[in-house]
Structure 1
Amino acid sequence: MTTKPILPGDGPIEPVELRTALEERYLAYALSTIMHRALPDVRDGMKPVHRRILYAMRELRLNPEGGYIKCAKIVGDVMGNYHPHGDMAIYDALARLAQDFAVRYPLVDGQGNFGNIDGDNPAAGRYTEARMTETAALILEGIDEDTVDFRPNYDGRVEEPVVLPAAFPNLLANGATGIAVGMATSIPPHNVDELCAALLHLIKHPNATIEKLVEMIPGPDFPTGGVIVEPREQILEAYKTGRGGFRVRARWTKEETTRGGYQVVVTEIPYGVQKAKLVEKIADLMSEKKLPLLGDVRDESAEEIRLVLEPKTRAVDPVLLMESLFRLTELDVRVSLNMNVLSNGQIPNVLDLRNVLWQWLEHRIEVLVRRSTHRLQKIEHRLEVLAGYLIAYLNIDEVIRIVRHEDDPKAKLISKFSLSEVQAEAILNLRLRSLSKLEEFEIRAEHDKLSKERRELKQLLKSEELQWEHVAGEVKETREKYSKKTALGKRRSTFDDAPEVEVDLAAALVEKEPVTVILSEKGWVRALKGHQDDLSKLEFKQGDELKRALKAFTTDKLVLFATNGRFFTLEANALPGGRGHGEPLRLMIDLEENHDVAEIFVHDPSRKLLVASTGGYGFIVPEEEVIASTRKGKQILNVTEPEEARVCVPVDGDHVATIGENRKLLIFKLDEVNEMTRGKGVILQRFKDGALSDARVFKKSAGLTWLDSAGREFTLSWSELKEWAGERAQAGKVAPKGFPRSNSFGPRF
């Protein structure tokens, strides 16, 4: 069977460019997603699904003081009347509003299994029941008093609210997340007490700065607690721009156990983290040997979270243990802030903190005006009716006669007593039993009371100042109800600075014990337990003797400076023990046969070093730059044979003293020496013959000190040293009397 092609003019078919059609249809889809699904309204802080759930629950009269009803019934009403989407999507949204670990101030009071922080799903809607909380009732307060606009639902049968009155600052209090087309929103929850404080300040000072508001709202307040470690300046910047984030960490404590051990107990985990997945992730990392400091993890949670972390050894520092976990697990997460919301329910934009608060206040003013206008109309109507009742009471017999005998009593009443249509209708609708109660003083009392209320409402509607006072009063009531003194209002998340700790996992596993490192002239090294002072009984191989001995700890790094200008790094705990003569150093580092170790010392990353060669060249290098990560070491001082690297001394002072093999001493300012990370350096002291023997950095105020061959200490003050003071690169003068024949200032470290 052949299909006849459709030709132009064969029917109501209009040619449309594919690009135009796609643009129009995709734009319609995008707008629908942005406005009717993903982004919350700045006024009530709700997406349509949440607004419809609460409104449907109100229509079902599920008030906080009332009974519960099956969630399946609620979901059915929401889907049938307002939200024509999947029932699971509606039920998931409903269940989340009841989860106290997901919502800071729950809007649904759930009965049954609504899921848990482990990540388990709620029970099916036919098993669970729900009603509204006090907070939800506050958000809906006044909805039947013409406070908000209504629109037809999806099929035009009933009407739904465009926005809720929201006497509760729900957007910031409970936060919101959503992904639309080309944009997203992410607002963490905050503390209502703090929000109300900022709102009251904003009412009093409409031009308040965000800096001032952030003093009152220091940051989010998550339902699961935790510790916010984001720097204050970055929090301020996030609230200023409406974009940013907050680093949140688990709260933990150290618990002592038997035999001097301890365990870490996590009592609060970051917002949005599922505990079961967290424990599973930690266990996986342990099996992959990525958490060498952790020995075991146990979940002992019941009502409260209790996650037990046992260290590998009791020597592991608990702060280091937690820092290693924070870096690799969701015990430390970043909660983003992107205050992308709908203004007036139509305009998607990113607002700063002040704008979010101000637009909520403007909404409350609008609600107040509409509610007052509605009440005023009701009062006007009632006063008109009361005036008619008063006339009827004063002329009761005539009224009864007219009603009984006249063919058109309504028209007769209007003409006889000059009544309005409303008054005549009200009199005709009176029941006989009410006539006995229509006493004059009751009617007048109600009339006076309503007249007074009408005057007050008219004053309120005329005065912006009174309106703001009224809104401030409402905010104060909300603040009192959700005060930090209450269980619900108490702040759960706290603020702290993250400790600046370098996590060296290998070093952290080492127990800190004192050792004495022994290096012999022939390059044999060992580590004796404890800090030894008497080294006279040390034994060496035949023809060998002590070169250097230094006190250290097993957790220290040892830095070696070789005569080829290379630096090598050794771990103190990796050195052979004190039994025997140790091991050759060249088995641990790749040191050339024709070179030797010039200096060995314990690493101090905060220190700087002065390095120099026998040719008199040198420079200053930060000690953290000399650490080598391989056996080959790190080339720092460049030397050309026959010169060799000789001097490596700590920089602690403002002047440098250099001494040559020709016994000439030169003193100059430290500022004249360059700071570098690698190179040959600058000339420190010039020699016609001979070479540089030693150098020392000292403080001018303390003077220059050296040790003689007998170990006695000598110090010359600056006034005695002036003769040798000069500038860098000079030849110097012969050293003072008494200076050691070794041409050395003594031990360098």
Structure 2
Amino acid sequence: MGVDLAGHIEDTKLAEALSERYIAYAMSTIMARSLPDVRDGLKPVHRRLLYAMQQLRLDPTSGFKKCARVVGDVIGKFHPHGDASVYEALVRLAQDFAVRYPLIEGQGNFGSIDGDGAAAMRYTESRLTEVAQTLLDGINDDGVDFRPTYDNEDHEPVVLPGTFPNLLANGAAGIAVGMATSIPPHNAAEICNAAKLLIENPEATVADLVEHIPGPDFPTGGILVEDRDSIIRSYETGRGSFRTRARWEKEEGRFGTWSIIVTEIPYQVQKSRLIEQIAELMEKRELPLLGDVRDESTTDIRLVLEPKSKTTDPEVLMETLFRKTPLENRFSLNMNVLGGDRVPGVLSLKAVILAWLNHLHEVLIRRLNHRLAAVLRRLEILDGFLAVYLNLDEVIRIIREEDEPKISLMKTFELTDLQAEAVLNMRLRSLRRLEEMEIRKERDSLASERKSIETLLGSEKRRWTRIGKDLDATIKKFGSGALGNRRTQIAKPPKAVDISAAFEVEKEPLTILLSREGWIRAMKGHGLDPQGHRFKEGDEAGLFSECQSVDRLCLIASGGKAFTIKAADLPRGRGFGQPVRTLVDIPQEERVVALFPVTEEGKRIIASESGRGMIVSETGIAAEKRTGKQVFNLKDGESIFACIPVEGTHVLALGSNKRALIFPMEQLPEMSRGSGVSLQKLGDNTLRVLRTLTLKDGLIWQEGQRVRSAEDLSVLEGRRGAVGRAAPQWMLRKN
């Protein structure tokens, strides 16, 4: 008898209940929505779409069916989610500018590279492509496991069995809870050649594989300008990025005029938005060499860029556009996928290909066993036919006269249950002498096939040879022509082009102000009081620095990274400025410790809270890229305390333990990058003050206090890394 749970209340801690439910949600997002399977490169919604379309017999040779019918079948039988999201997934699989090898062939309006959406599903039609058919090949031959659908009324495949390398060929993108994936598209023939190399030599390195897969192959083409060593490093770790540029050419006009024609743009850059961004930058006068931009595209991309002057160097013009617009773009690599054991992880290129090959090997064994079982069953039936064909009259008599003909046949001719059943189900028209010859012919053919299958099953080497031939077939099918030829050109990293003449900035004094909440702005003039300016509600003055408009500014973050921005690029006027994190990639949990203009001869002492430090040159730590440059290597839980200019002859350190130490500047080494050396032995305490001074000139500790002479300070002198002496009261006294 069941327990009545109506009205039952069970006490539990809210934190535990929330944690349990959130973990369940997170795992659902990771496993069943956002991350692709390493074996077929598909997320569940894509796999269900392809399987549902196969069930509807929408193969490449059949007619099209309304997308609404397909979406209805998917959400009704396999995927109980919203129809809009399922249709979006279907549309993307049909867009040749979004996926390298479309898995669905669309008929109707399926959107454009300008960012236009597809027509409603009631207007569009679809069917599978040959690529999708290859992915599904063997699904009815027990190649993969099936599982019950959400309502237990049907079954769906856990993974697709085909020999197409979909994960790398079409790439993937997804954001789960606490993890994400980003895999660019590649060339299928190159992937198959790399896989063949691994079959022949499982010890091949990623560098060997890059000989076959030199980089991504984007559906929109473009030019890959990433350094080869960087590409190898990215493929080895499964994390990195690839820099791509638009393909362009110079087109001569009349009377010495010329224009730039852009024919291919980086992957996932919307053409209409790109033109808008260029136009906005022209309005802000940030593209001084560009006179006009026009879109003359039809089905092919054709952007016309006209210079302001025909004397402009095309290389310099394009370099200004590459630096300021998405005509140069970076595509991130994060090969975070679900393995065959359904555990997520970041894999290297070699690990991804090996996982796919192992999947093909497992599918081959399962298909061979399935076919062998079918062959043995048919051979058993044919043996039964041959046994009775010599005595047809007796068979007919038994069937006509015996009460239990099946048992009599089995006893008379020594037949198995299956053979007797097959004889009884035989059609009368088959009872011809000629049929016996056909049966013997079929039996010999099946016996030969049986021997071949058993040989394959008995030899792993032969099975890998067979997989190699299947890969050759995939290369032959999808390795050439408009679909298979490489679209993204591999080029060497471009040489540095001096564009300073294009961005000549008038030299004027500026004061840079960075608020506590991270808003940065430039104000004209020096000697300004930061406290006298307006800030957003809840914000206040933070760091400020006086410089010239032609200067570069260095920001030191608490995580040990240095970032560089141009003073001329900072917003001016009476506003609040702009968030500094829109200019450089400073992590949200970090703060800016120092802000100063970069000088040729300038040097700085950078120190951590634990009392380690070093001298760095300002030009040596300058980094033009958004991601900055790691200068100080910190231990867990550490952060940067200060970054002060090198001035004078000595360094003064004061710890939170109220002990002070003065040591010669020459004892502090200069490094370009590192963890520094011990300034003062602090134990579990932290650095509280870091100052530089010229010992013979004395020290003014705080404004309004007298000069402390070298004799006053001599008691605090020692060697770098010492514990120091108890700090005098004038050091500890607050204003």
Does the TM-score normalized on the shorter chain lie above 0.5? yes
Residue pair 1:316, 1:508 contacting (<8 A) in 2 also: no
1:41 aligns with 2:37: yes
What displacement does 1:345 show?
A: 5.1
The structure 1 residue matched to 2:55, chosen from 54, 59, 62, is 59
Counterpart residue number, 1:371: 367
Q: Which residue of 1 aligns with 2:640?
A: none
Partner of 1:488: 483
Which structure 2 residues correspond to residues 104-119 of structure 1 after superposition, within 5 A?
A: 104-119=100-115
Structure 1 residues 75-474: aligned runs within 5 Å: 75-344=71-340, 346-436=342-432, 439-474=435-470
TM-score, length-scaled by structure 2: 0.67
SS of corresponding position for 2:150: coil
| Aligned 8 A contact 1:293 1:505 in 2 | no
Root-mean-square deviation (Å): 2.1
Contact 2:288 2:503 in 1 (8 A): no
Report the Cα offset of residue 505 of structure 1: 4.7
**Is the 1:43–1:166 contact (alpha carbons within 8 Å) kept by the matching residues of 2?**
no
CA offset digits 1:336-359 (Å, max 9, x no partner): 000000001511000001000001
- The corresponding residue for 1:724 is none
Partners of 1:309 and 1:505 lie apart in 2 by 20
Per-residue deviation, residues 688-747 of structure 1 (Å, max 9, x unmatched)? xxxxxxxxxxxxxxxxxxxxxxxxxxxxxxxxxxxxxxxxxxxxxxxxxxxxxxxxxxxx
Shift of 1:392: 2.0
SS at match of 1:297: strand
Whether the 8 Å CA contact 1:292–1:505 is kept in 2: the answer is no
| 1:44 partner amino acid | D
Distance between the aligned counterparts of 2:208 and 2:280, measured in 1?
Answer: 46
Task: String of CA shifts for 1:283-306, please: whole Å, max 9, x gaps.
Answer: 111112111111000000012100
Alpha-carbon displacement from aligned partner over 1:126-150 (angstroms, at most 9, x marks no partner): 1111110100000000100000000
- Secondary structure of the residue aligned to 1:271 is coil
For the Cα contact (< 8 Å) 1:52–1:78, is it kept in 2?
yes
Shift of 1:315: 1.5
- TM-superposed CA distance for 1:434, in Å, is 1.9
Q: Is the 8 A contact 2:236 2:349 kept in 1?
A: yes
* Partner SS for 1:333: strand
**Hey, what's the Cα distance between the residues in 2 that align with 1:399 and 1:163?**
48
Shift in Å at residue 439 of structure 1?
Answer: 2.4
Any stretches of 5+ residues in structure 2 without a counterpart? 506-549, 551-618, 621-735
C-alpha offsets along residues 467-500 of structure 1, whole Å, 9 cap, x if unaligned?
10110110111111222x4221111101222230
Amino acid aligned to 1:394: L
For 2:100 and 2:224, the matched residues in 1 are separated by: 16
1:258, CA displacement in angstroms?
0.9
SS in 1 for 2:147: strand
Cα distance change on mapping 1:84 and 1:11 into 2, 3 Å: closer
The answer (yes or no) to whether the contact 1:270–1:331 under 8 Å persists in 2 is yes
TM-score (norm 1): 0.66
Contact 1:35 1:345 in 2 (8 A): no
Q: Supply the AA of the counterpart residue of 1:494.
A: Q
One-letter amino acid of the structure 2 residue matched with residue 153 of structure 1: T
Matches of 1:507 and 1:42, distance apart in 2:
47
Match of 1:503 among 499, 504, 526: 499
Specify the code of the residue in structure 1 equivalent to 2:128: M
Deviation at 1:438, TM superposition (A): 5.7
Q: What's the offset of the Cα at 1:437?
A: 6.5
Contact 1:191 1:220 in 2 (8 A): yes
Larger radius of gyration: 1
**1:12 Cα deviation (Å)?**
2.4
- Which amino acid in 1 is paired with 2:342? Q
Structure 1 stretches of 4+ with a deviation exceeding 3 A read 505-509
* Contact 1:238–1:245 (Cα < 8 Å) also in 2: yes
Partner of 2:13: 17
What SS does the aligned partner of 1:279 have?
A: helix
Which residue identity lines up with residue 65 of structure 1 in the other structure? T
Residues 360 and 373 of structure 1, relative CA distance in 2, 3 Å threshold: same
Cα distance, 1:393 vs. partner? 1.2
SS at match of 2:333: strand
Take 1:46 and 1:451, find their aligned partners in 2: how far apart are those partners? Answer: 38
Q: Matched residues in 2 for 1:329 and 1:265: separation? A: 16
> 1:628 — aligned with what?
none
Task: Describe the superposition over 1:546-576 as per-residue Cα deviations: whole angstroms up to 9, x where unpaired.
Answer: xxxxxxxxxxx9xxxxxxxxxxxxxxxxxxx
Instruction: Tell me which amino acid in the other structure corresponds to 2:481.
Output: T
